[in-house]
Amino acid sequence: MKKQEIQKIALERIKILFKEADKSFSKHPERSNRYVKLARKIAMKVNLSIPSTYKRKFCKHCYSYLKIGSNARKRIRDKKIIYYCMECKKFNRIPYKR
Ligand SMILES: [Zn+2]
């Protein structure tokens, strides 16, 4: 299989994992964290960077699944989106794109 094909499959799996993480979060947040871990593992294995849409869904410090209003807060400052992780009490800064 070509590298591109492998990455495409990996991306599909990452998509599904984040979808599942979102679904489980309200009842089983620990499961959501496991899905994040799995998604990162897959991405690393095939040398793929996780799309920014998903990157903002977890904390880059403790890798907890983040849900605004539950365990995360979102602020916009200096053209950057800042996520505050209430699990590890750290900030995640993401450049703001239009
Ligand atoms: Zn965190």
DSSP 42-58: HHHHTT-PPPHHHHTTB
- SS3 call for 14: helix
Distance 71 CA to ligand 1 centre (A): 9
Question: In CATH, what number is assigned to the domain containing residue 57?
Answer: 1.20.5.420
Distance 93 CA to ligand 1 centre (A): 12
- Owning domain of residue 34: 3-95
So what's the pLDDT on residue 92? 94
Distance 62 CA to ligand 1 centre (A): 4
% pLDDT > 90, the chain:
84
What is the pTM assigned to this prediction? 0.89
Distance 81 CA to ligand 1 centre (A): 15
Q: What average pLDDT is seen over the chain?
A: 93
Q: How many domains does the chain have?
A: 1
Cα(28)–Cα(35) distance, integer angstroms:
11
Distance 66 CA to ligand 1 centre (A): 8
How crowded is residue 15: how many other Cβ atoms within 10 Å of its Cβ? Answer: 14
